[in-house]
Structure 1
Amino acid sequence: MRKIILECIPNCKEKLAYNVPFYYCHSRICYIWPASIPWEKVEKGVAIGFCKGTSFLDETFKTTKFTSKVTFTSVAAIDVAFLRQQIYEAVLIDEQIVKAKRRKIQ
């Protein structure tokens, strides 16, 4: 998943928060959360979460108040094309938020 994220967002910054990697451009875009981190409810596999995921048009992701995520239990279960599409959508949402903030400042 990390490789896919870095291919889709080559200019992103990768930072650790809560012992998991988060990926930023203007703000947090997404994260990879393994089941080995005990304080998140990922029981098996690895989850990819999107910080502005509640803005997604797709209902595939499990949505909470601030984020949305999907869990994969094996490498074969990852739909790479779908995941890329969601990453690109998350980047567009991030850029729209920044543009809206810049308009308010001017």
Structure 2
Amino acid sequence: MKDVEDFIAELPIDEKLILQQLRSILFQIEPRFQERLSYGVPYYYRKRRVCFLWPVSAPLAPKVAGDVKVLLGFCYGSKLSNAHGLLQKQNRKHVYIIPFSRLSSINQQIVQEHIIEAILIDNELHKSNTLK
């Protein structure tokens, strides 16, 4: 079975660079993320699935407009504030994404804010489940 490092190594260079930068930000925010391939792409877990990185060359990649290379998806994106207006719902109920076309389009501060909020939601959902 392929691991995340093998998966990244096989990506086209433009996707690889974007994915590596986003992955670095994820682990800067939460070094304890559990990272594993699910649906053929890297997912990041704490109590449950928090987010994922989906290169458009990966199997089952959703159709995206434009020159998008990598999607940063949030499993409970519908609960995020979307204060910067970057999260896209498209035709999904819960999962929201931020598309990235170039390495230079990554605003580290905004990405960090979304990840931190997603982690807080993960904590809240875990608490509410343990209280039941």
Structure 2 length normalisation: TM-score? 0.75
For residue 9 of structure 1, report the CA deviation from its aligned partner.
1.2
**AA of the residue aligned to 1:61:** L
| Counterpart residue number, 1:45 | 69
* Unaligned ranges ≥5, structure 1: none
Q: For 2:54 and 2:72, locate their aligned partners in 1 and report how far apart those are by CA, in whole Å.
A: 6
- SS of the residue 1:92 aligns to: helix
TM-score (norm 1): 0.92
- Answer whether contact 1:34 1:42 (CA < 8 A) is retained: no
Q: Which runs of 5+ in 2 are unaligned?
A: 1-21
Contact kept, 8 Å, 2:40 with 2:59, in 1: the verdict is no
- Percent identical among aligned pairs is 33
Any runs of at least 4 consecutive aligned residues in structure 1 with deviations exceeding 4 A, and if so which? none
**Aligned with 1:84: secondary structure?**
helix
By percentage of residues, which structure has more strand?
1
Q: Provide the aligned length of Structure 1 versus Structure 2.
A: 104
Matching residue's letter, 1:100: S
What corresponds to 1:18 in structure 2?
39
Q: Which of 97, 101, 104 is the equivalent residue of 2:125? A: 97
